[in-house]
Amino acid sequence: MVLVIAVSVYCYWRKSQQAEREYEKIKSQLEGLEESVRDRCKKEFTDLMIEMEDQTNDVHEAGTPVLDYKTYTDRVFFLPSKDGDKDVMVTGRLDIPEPRRQVVEQALYQFSNLLNSKSFLINFIHTLENQREFSARAKVYFASLLTVALHGKLEYYTDIMRTLFLELLEQYVVAKNPKLMLRRPRGVPYSLPSVLPQDSAGEPLYKLFKAIKHQVEKGPVDAVQKKAKYTLNDTGLLGDDVEYAPLTVSVIVQDEGADAIPVKVLNCDTISQVKEKIIDQVYRGQPCSCWPRPDSVVLEWRPGSTAQILSDLDLTSQREGRWKRVNTLMHYNVRDGATLILSKVGVSQQPEDSQQDLPGERHALLEEENRVWHLVRPAEEVDEGKSKRGSVKEKERTKAITEIYLTRLLSVKGTLQQFVDNFFHSVLAPGHAVPPAVKYFFDFLDEQAEKHNIQDEDTVHIWKTNSLPLRFWVNILKNPHFIFDVHVHEVVDASLSVIAQTFMDACTRTEHKLSRDSPSNKLLYAKEISTYKKMVEDYYKGIRQMVQVSDQDMNTHLAEISRAHTDSLNTLVALHQLYQYTQKYYDEIINALEEDPAAQKMQLAFRLQQIAAALENKVTDL
């Protein structure tokens, strides 16, 4: 028996030593790769800073394009819904017959008064959460509606959240798994009102987004496969070496009488990509939401006495069997210094076979038998037979190629590193202002841990991480259009996702040992992750040492937010949408209210029946 234990311990020790040696070897190899691209990174970073100087000046002159409060809440709460920007909370349009509008609005205000009864609201929420068909997605959407509906009384709403949170905590403590409490958004208690980003973090995040966008656009981007030469994401990396040349074209905007504007493009850009770069440059002084769409403008080239409309697909497009290649500037032989004319779309300007949209946006415009490609044909389509006969040698070659492309990822990472560091410092640096809501909530978590005798520091760390960095900052990193007036391309989103994952890794206390099978994002930021982890620890420690925010100060802060922004929100629409849940689970809610002594005393069931009668235009039983 002793021999077996000794052998087991020895095997474990040897395996640990082997893993440690492999970790150190990979770390050394990565440092070597980074060293090999260091000079290139310095040059690329210098070039990037020079090229971004004009845009940085725009930021200082016009300010960071932060969205207004209503648009911000619409995008955070309702843009991810199944209806997206057509959601009634975003449009603000209620389909109510005009003769009944006054009666309905009056009934909705009465429903608002009912929601301001704590006894009613707690029963309402509990009843919904007990319904099996009330999905996790529906719970999050319901919580978002409730946040808007009660925005005028955020102090009251926060008290409701506190009550629900304490109930939830009790359940997890009894089940002896408190670490899992805030892991996934399962209901209303998880949807605490989001805080707007600190002023100190807004500009660094915007500059990080612009730097990624600028760096991505410096190299070829496959418009069909959504892959780029310059990216942080290995799955979004354009594997093949594509020949290309930078061009500077002069753009004249028709009917605006302005001078020709120089715009940098690539000769391998599709016409839609060229349009986007032109629009980005020509209209950069205006909000992005006011820019014309690429498919709403026409690009014309006049090489001589004749004019030619440039399109992604037309009768001149290159065909190879079933494949059709998207047109580029190279296809039209547009050269450096050429003059292009941008004009609004007119019916007479659109040739019958001209399509401004790429495949994936309007499949219906293309013939079914045609397949479209831009820079690289999908590998499995080039020679299906050859791919099926893949050998071990081929796989080894593929792996070698992947490792070569890792240096390209490292090069992009090195170029953007200063922008990434600036963002991390702006969010996590101890000297920066922390919103009162964050200090108040973190102290509340510390108090609950002490009250329930939770001595495991990892538990409280996980609570704080899941409530702020992962719930807010990671969401904003992945979706900068939630707070900025910008358009995020998929190729830019791919790199942002890598930085967001690094931010998530920095917030965990788990040590990730590197191996050859580790995800590329962990390999890319292996050297920085320990520094970022310490920043998170120091951030939490700094908040703990701050002066406590009293209940009175917190309520004053919430009242100021309510006064400043409630009038701009679609409160009435939120109330109407919330009532749909009341209508769907009407009997269950009435039963819950009739069984609750406090609700009986206030006749809450009767009040709900009266509201239902007015809203649904029917006679009540009472």
Residue 351 binned pLDDT confidence (cut-offs 50, 70, 90): very low
Q: What DSSP string describes 250-268?
A: EEEETTS-PPPEEEEEETT
Residue whose pair of structure tokens reads 């805080």 in the numeric block:
195
Min mean pLDDT across 72-81, 395-404, 510-519 is at 395-404
Q: Which amino acid is at 409?
A: L
Instruction: With a cut of 90, say whether residue 81 has pLDDT above it.
Output: no
Which alpha helices (H) appear in 64-100, and where do they start and end? 69-77, 88-91
Tokens of 545: 């040492």
47: phi then psi, degrees, rounded to nearest 5: -60, -40
Cα(276)–Cα(266) distance, rounded to whole angstroms? 12
Instruction: With a cut of 90, say whether residue 21 has pLDDT above it.
Output: no
Terminus-to-terminus CA distance in the chain, angstroms? 80
Residue whose pair of structure tokens reads 């753009």 in the numeric block:
251
Would you state the torsion angle of the CA atoms of residues 168, 561, 423, 76, taken in this order, to the nearest 10 degrees?
Answer: 60
Burial of 144 (0-12, 13-18, 19+ CB in 10 A): buried
Domains in the chain (CATH in brackets) are 243-348+369-373 (3.10.20.90)
pLDDT at 357: 45
pLDDT at 401: 47
pLDDT at 199: 54
Cα(550)–Cα(546) distance, rounded to whole angstroms? 12
Q: How far is CA 434 from CA 266, 422, 557, in A?
A: 44, 17, 13
Residue whose pair of structure tokens reads 């001595």 in the numeric block:
455
Burial of 468 (0-12, 13-18, 19+ CB in 10 A): buried
Which alpha helices (H) appear in 315-456, and where do they start and end? 329-332, 379-382, 384-388, 392-428, 436-451
Kindly state the DSSP code that residue 360 receives in the 8-state scheme: T
Q: How far is CA 522 from CA 60, 413, 512, in A?
A: 34, 12, 8
Tokens of 499: 């930085």
Q: Higher model confidence: residue 27 or residue 133? A: 133
Instruction: With a cut of 50, say whether residue 334 has pLDDT above it.
Output: yes
pLDDT digits (tens, 9 = 90+) for 131-182: 988 888 888 899 999 999 999 999 999 999 999 989 888 888 877 777 777 6
Give strand pairing partners of 310.
Answer: 299
pLDDT at 494: 95
Q: Higher model confidence: residue 352 or residue 119? A: 119
Q: Higher model confidence: residue 221 or residue 470? A: 221
Cα(164)–Cα(139) distance, rounded to whole angstroms? 14
Nearest-10 crossing angle of helices 604-615, 586-595:
160
Kindly state the DSSP code that residue 313 receives in the 8-state scheme: B
pLDDT at 183: 65
Task: Tell me if 461 sits within 8 A of 243, measured CB to CB.
Answer: no
For the chain, what is the total number of helices (H) and then of strands (E)? 25, 10
Task: Tell me if 557 sits within 8 A of 438, measured CB to CB.
Answer: no
Average pLDDT, the chain: 82
pLDDT at 363: 43
Instruction: With a cut of 70, say whether residue 48 has pLDDT above it.
Output: no
Task: Tell me if 198 sits within 8 A of 432, measured CB to CB.
Answer: yes
pLDDT at 491: 95
Which alpha helices (H) appear in 287-391, and where do they start and end? 329-332, 379-382, 384-388
Cα(449)–Cα(484) distance, rounded to whole angstroms? 36
Q: Does the predicted model carry a pTM greater than 0.75?
A: yes
Tokens of 244: 């290309």
Burial of 444 (0-12, 13-18, 19+ CB in 10 A): middle
pLDDT at 22: 57
Kindly state the DSSP code that residue 188 receives in the 8-state scheme: G
pLDDT at 300: 94
Cα(251)–Cα(340) distance, rounded to whole angstroms? 5
Instruction: With a cut of 50, say whether residue 569 has pLDDT above it.
Output: yes
Tokens of 459: 């538990």
List, in order, residues 6 or more apart from 246 with CB less than 8 Å away: 264, 265, 266, 267
Q: CB pairs under 8 A, 24+ apart, for 274-278?
A: 274/249, 274/299, 274/310, 274/329, 274/340, 275/299, 275/342, 275/356, 277/217, 278/251, 278/340, 278/342
pLDDT at 520: 75
Nearest-10 crossing angle of helices 392-428, 490-506:
70
List, in order, residues 6 or more apart from 600 with CB less than 8 Å away: 593, 594
32: phi then psi, degrees, rounded to nearest 5: -65, -45
Strands 339-344 and 246-253: parallel
User: HSE on the CB side for 3, CA within 13 Å?
Assistant: 0
pLDDT at 447: 93
Task: Please say whether the dihedral angle defined by the alpha carbons of residues 5, 10, 15 and 19, taken in this order, is positive or negative.
Answer: positive
pLDDT at 388: 47
Q: Higher model confidence: residue 37 or residue 175? A: 175
Q: How far is CA 231 from CA 203, 235, 449, in A?
A: 22, 9, 42
pLDDT digits (tens, 9 = 90+) for 181-200: 766 554 454 444 444 444 55
